[in-house]
């Protein structure tokens, strides 16, 4: 059974390095919505960076914090929410987001993702000996979850401005369809 939907917000899901935060900020500015980033909220609540949460408490503890964070957003309105790449892997997270947000997935190829994340150190899952292979494997594993978004936007063929515009158009269509 599908829970009733009351689309007030936009949630951006997708793999690391697909531009969720950058596009999210642009969309929020355009709509005059609040921009929220689940990683930033978790880091603020935990008082330490994601890498430290993973290293000291483990990934399971991070996923628990992430789930609590997602649930805490259910009463939000007029927000653009950029989510961590692992959020939709927990079906309860996606179900929660869908009650109040249009869920848009930003999609990119493993090559493009590698280009975007290489040289960065704040993502524990790609701080591994063979990050390119890790991206390929993790992206393939997660694809079925990302495909459950309401809208899938292929970022490879478009400018940031075009991607942001597409997200806004889809949001307006979804709101008017109510």
Contact positions vs ligand S3P (CB under 6 A): 16, 20, 39, 50, 84-86, 123-125
- Report the residue number, 16 or 23, with the smaller CB distance to ligand S3P: 16
Smallest gap, in angstroms, from Cβ of residue 155 to ligand S3P? 13
* Long-range contacts of 128-137, Cβ-Cβ distance < 8 Å, separation of 24 or more: 135/15, 135/110, 136/110
Smallest gap, in angstroms, from Cβ of residue 149 to ligand S3P? 14
Here the tokens at position 3 are 């829970």
Smallest gap, in angstroms, from Cβ of residue 127 to ligand S3P? 9
Smallest gap, in angstroms, from Cβ of residue 72 to ligand S3P? 16
Smallest gap, in angstroms, from Cβ of residue 2 to ligand S3P? 26
Alpha helices, DSSP H, located in the chain: 20-31, 38-46, 50-57, 59-72, 91-100, 110-117, 131-146, 160-176
- Report the residue number, 124 or 131, with the smaller CB distance to ligand S3P: 124
DSSP letter for 128, please. S
Distance CA 96, CA 103 (A): 11
* Side-chain-side CA neighbours of residue 120 (13 Å): 14
Distance CA 86, CA 69 (A): 13
- Report the residue number, 85 or 110, with the smaller CB distance to ligand S3P: 85
- Report the residue number, 63 or 76, with the smaller CB distance to ligand S3P: 63
- Report the residue number, 26 or 174, with the smaller CB distance to ligand S3P: 26
Hey, is 157 helix, strand or coil?
helix
Q: Which of 82, 79, 127 is nearest to 104 (CA)?
A: 82
């Amino acid at each position: 059974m599908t829970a009733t939907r009351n689309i007030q917000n936009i949630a951006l899901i997708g793999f690391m390095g697909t531009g969720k935060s950058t596009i999210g900020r642009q969309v929020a500015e355009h709509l005059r919505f609040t921009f929220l980033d689940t990683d930033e909220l978790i880091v603020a609540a935990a008082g330490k960076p994601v890498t430290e949460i993973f290293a000291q408490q483990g990934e399971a503890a991070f996923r628990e914090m992430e789930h609590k964070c997602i649930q805490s957003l259910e009463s939000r309105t007029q927000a653009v929410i950029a989510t961590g790449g692992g959020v939709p892997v927990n079906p309860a997270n996606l179900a929660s987001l869908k009650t109040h947000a249009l869920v848009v997935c930003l999609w990119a190829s493993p090559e493009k993702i590698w280009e975007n994340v290489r040289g960065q150190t704040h993502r524990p899952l790609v701080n591994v000996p063979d990050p390119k292979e890790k991206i390929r494997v993790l992206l393939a594993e997660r694809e079925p979850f990302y495909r459950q978004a309401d809208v899938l936007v292929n970022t490879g063929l478009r400018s940031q401005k075009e991607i942001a515009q597409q997200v806004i158009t889809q949001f307006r269509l979804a709101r008017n369809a109510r």
